[in-house]
Amino acid sequence: MKPGAGLRRVSRAVHGAGSGRPVFSEAEVRLRAKVVILGTTVVRELFGEENPLGETVRINRVNFTVIGVFPVKGSEGWRDWDDVAVVPVTTAMYRLTGARFVGSVDAEVAAAGLIEQAKIKAVAMTVSGGLAGIALGVGAAAVLARLAGWPVSLNVWALGLAAAFSVTVGLVFGLWPARQAAELDPIEALRYE
């Protein structure tokens, strides 16, 4: 796909120098403002060497004012991280998809580093949760044994199986949604039906 596909330059405006700002204001998000922050590949394709700040671009037949340009991120594998046009999520929901509120929004996890980070977090959470569960179970067994006078026997194999099950469940249910979200088109992920 050609960089900046789906975007068209519409008008030329008077603007100052600089790269604008790489974040949206609270008011722009709340008011569903028609503003956009572009990646450098999109800027190069649409504006060449000209400063795009204050210019108007059209996305899905809706005009947006360029308020910023992201710093150069470069390519990673098959993806050009500078070939982006980002609008406030409320604007995308309302102006581009027609939805009035966010029902369920899937996050995009596209970078390999983020997948690894999600994997580490899922393992850490499930191991700590599994250890807490094992400690709670052993503690409850000890209290019941003391109160009821029952003998307590800890089976290390069963404790290891419980920990392995906890990690497996955490990885499957922690990484599966992240990988599926990474494969979604961001606008389709935001579409509410």
Positive or negative, the Cα torsion across 106, 86, 64, 24?
positive
pLDDT tens track for 95-112: 656 555 444 333 343 444
Helices 156-182, 112-148: crossing angle, 10 deg rounding: 150
pLDDT tens track for 103-136: 433 334 344 455 667 677 777 877 788 888 888 9
